[in-house]
Each structure stands twice: as C-alpha cells, then as structure tokens.
Structure 1
Amino acid sequence: MLPLWPGMLPFAVAYAVTARAAGLSVFDTCLMSLTVFGGASQFAAAGLFAQGASGLGIVLTTFLLNVRHVLYGLSLSRDLALTPVQRLTAAQFLTDEAYGVVTLEARQDPSKRTFAFLLGAELSLFTVWNLSTLLGALGGEVLPSPEALGAGVIFPLAFLGLLVPLLVDRLTLVVALFSGLLAWGLAQLLPGGLVVLVAGVAGALLGAYFSTRRTPEAQA
C-alpha cells in the first residue's frame, strides 16, 4: 500500500481546503473523512454544501459516484469467506485502491484471501486519508495545490500497475481493452461511478461469453 500513500495526501488536503471554504468547521471536515471515507464523494458533498443543495441531492449524487462499489462487493464476496459483521466492516472501509491491491495479492497468494489482509489494506489508507484531512483542515491554505504537485497522475499510474499483472492471456487483454474504451466513450455521458459500473458489467459479460465458448472448444 505504500506507493499509494503519496497520492492520498494531496487529495485529502485538497478536500479539506474545499470543505473549509464551503463553510464546514475543522470538526465537520474531519468527521466526514472518518464516516464517509470516499474522496470523490466528499469533494462532491463539500461543493454541493457550498451551493446550498438539499440533503437528498447530496446523498443521491454521492450514491451515483460510489455505485461502482457494488461490483467490488460482489467480487470480494466471491473470493473471501466473510461473516456478516466482517462484510459490514469491510464495506465501510472499502476503497478502489484497497480493492485493487487485495484482489491482485489474493490471486497471486491464496493465503491472503482473509478478512485480516483486506482490513489491513483498508485501514492503511483510512489512516493516511484522515491524517491528511486534519493537516489540510488546519493549514491547507499555505500548502500547494494537488495540481501543482502533479498528483493527478499518481492514482492512474498506481491502478495501471495493479492491472498489468492481471493481463495473463489474450482474453483478459481483450476484456481490459474493451472495458477501457467503453469507459472512455461513456465518460462524457454518465457520472464517474456509473461509468465504472457499466463498463465493469459489460466487460464481465464479455469475458463470461468468451469463457463459456472457449471451454467446450477446449474439451472437444
């Protein structure tokens, strides 16, 4: 998880500065990071709060941004045997980065398909995110912006590093290219969370289609 930490810090600071500018107190700003723990959702909520949006509007917006977590949950429920309490706990702290790392590591080493490994990855980012939020809430105005630091490239590069080891054959490469191109095409039409959900489901269906076709042929 260490390579992902530098990317968390500037974005958490930027969220804190946005929230403080929207009128949230230091306590409110940090409380949102503790309870919501979702970068894009917190940015959106802070912006909508500044615009005087209704509570329902804020909830619906953040729901659309995070709907991709449905896919993450389905994937983890297939790979990890969790109790109901463990599922609720893991769901609260789940992030894109933790899901990507745990999925990759669990496929390479089945012994890591445990609740402890998943929670450790999640709490690693949770700690960094909240400490960075506090830093931004207290002194964010004197810190450089994430854009000036070039932080926007950190997460895409990190996810690319997680993706490449999973491209083990032609099928996974085709599915990855299809999903990426579909997401790129939908990016101007749908909210980010829905883009990931639609592209993920479409890619999964494509992979399932080719897998079921390939199995009978291999047996023949």
Structure 2
Amino acid sequence: MEKYIEEVLAVGHIRPSTSPAVAGFFFVGKKDGGLHPCINYRGLNAIMVRYPYPLTLVPAALNQLRGARFFTKLDLRSAYNLVRIWKGDEWKTAFHTTHGHYEYLIMPFGLTNASAVFQSLMDKVFQDILGKWVIVYIDDILVYSTSLEEHVRHVRAVLSRLQQNHIYVMPEKCEFHQTTITFLGYMISWQGVKMDLTKVCAVTEWPNPAAFPMVRQLLPAFHPEL
C-alpha cells in the first residue's frame, strides 16, 4: 500500500486531503498476480447523480462483424486515469489508509459513473469509425477488417488516434492480426461469433440430473424466477 501511495502521489493522481468524506481502501488480486486498488464508494454512489450515457450493446455490435476475417484486440492502460475529476469535487473522492488521508485528482475505479464517462470519451475519439471497423466497450477495443492489408491500415489508424489523445495500450494484453480471437466473452472468427467455451464450462460440465431433486436444484440457474 505504501508503494502505491508513493507512486500515485508522484504522478499527481492523488493529493493529501482534509475532506470530511472517507471511503475504505483495499487491494484485490488480479489474474496476473498483481494487485488492484479498490475503494468502497458505496456511500458516495448512493447520492451521486447518474450520468445516463449508454454503454455499447456488445451482442448488437458483434453483428457488424459479418465478412471480417482479421481481428485485433486492444486493452487500454490505466484508462480511467485519463479523466480529470471536476475541480472542486476532489474532496468527494477522499479515502483513508494507514499512511494518511488522500483524495483523487483523476477518476478512480469504483465510482458509479466511471464506466459511462469513459465510454463517452472513447465514443468521441472514434465517433467517425465506430461500427465501420471498430468496436469500443469502455476500455476494450476490437478492430476488424476483411483483408490483412486493410487490417494493418486500420490498426495503425486506431493506434495513431489513441496516441494523439494520449491514450495508451498494454501490449502484453493486446492481440494483433488474428483470424480467431476472444473478445468480451465471445469467440470471434471469419466463421462467426459464438460464446467463449471457458465462460460457459460451469454449465456445460454440469452432470445430467438423475433424479427430480437434482432437476429442482438446476432450474433456478436458468430461470431465476422459479
């Protein structure tokens, strides 16, 4: 925790605070073994005015992929940190740690409007090519094309636009020029779109019910109203 506080102080993402607001601060583990900072903003979120900007409807967006044969997936680095908290509102994001009381100058994870705000930002960056050869869902980007030559041009154009807006990717989480790719829980190829089997294995590997009590246990998983 001390290392994290020192790092974000140094880059100007937080500052010491005298705010009367306080939120709990903790870390959760990531798939790669690292730690992700989390702040309990339930109290703030309960009174926050909602920003009614819609997120991308992924199933509908994937219908645009017909005819595409090459795909690139881009994952953005520290995406929310690109958004500045409105001046004068920083005190509302205050959090407390064993190393002191601080407040954010940039948008942290955990705020109820964070996803909508960032989706709005990304839609403005790519507004003229969305639905043509780019899909953006918050900080996940899919570039798709019908030929490799065209795809190289598309990927370069997207990366150039990101750079112009000071938005950067995490190379280790990106996949370039693929003919088959997973994106937001879907397996995508020139043959079409289907569910990523790793996301549904809990259901597909469920043993066949041999008696009525097992059926009764299984039904709520598919029909919650039962």
Higher strand share goes to which structure?
Answer: 2
Q: TM-score, normalised by structure 2?
A: 0.23
Larger RCO, structures 1/2 (Cα 8 Å, 6+ apart): 1
